[in-house]
């Protein structure tokens, strides 16, 4: 298997947890996704990405 596939499989439980968390809080309106954006930013930074926030309001851009 490839290293990327191995990494994705190892993190599957965490990815599922993130998806479930986001879906438990569906009340955010379009362009008002502050909680979701904060969660995405926290995870991306935890994983070592350089993160830019506030893109178009609540957008997030991550760079390796």
pLDDT digits (tens, 9 = 90+) for 1-46: 799 899 899 999 999 999 999 999 989 988 899 999 999 999 999 9
Q: CB of 5 within 8 A of CB of 28?
A: no
Counting the structural domains of the chain, the total is: 1
Give the model's pLDDT for residue 64: 85
Domain, as residue range, for 17:
3-63
Q: Which pTM does this prediction carry?
A: 0.81
Q: CB of 47 within 8 A of CB of 32?
A: no
**Token pair of 54, please?**
């506030």
């Amino acid at each position: 298997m490839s290293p990327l596939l191995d990494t994705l499989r190892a993190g599957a439980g965490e990815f599922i947890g993130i998806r479930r968390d986001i879906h438990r809080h569906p009340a955010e309106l379009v362009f008002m996704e502050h909680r979701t954006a904060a969660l995405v930013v926290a995870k991306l930074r935890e994983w070592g990405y350089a993160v830019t926030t506030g893109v178009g309001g609540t957008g997030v851009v991550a760079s390796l």
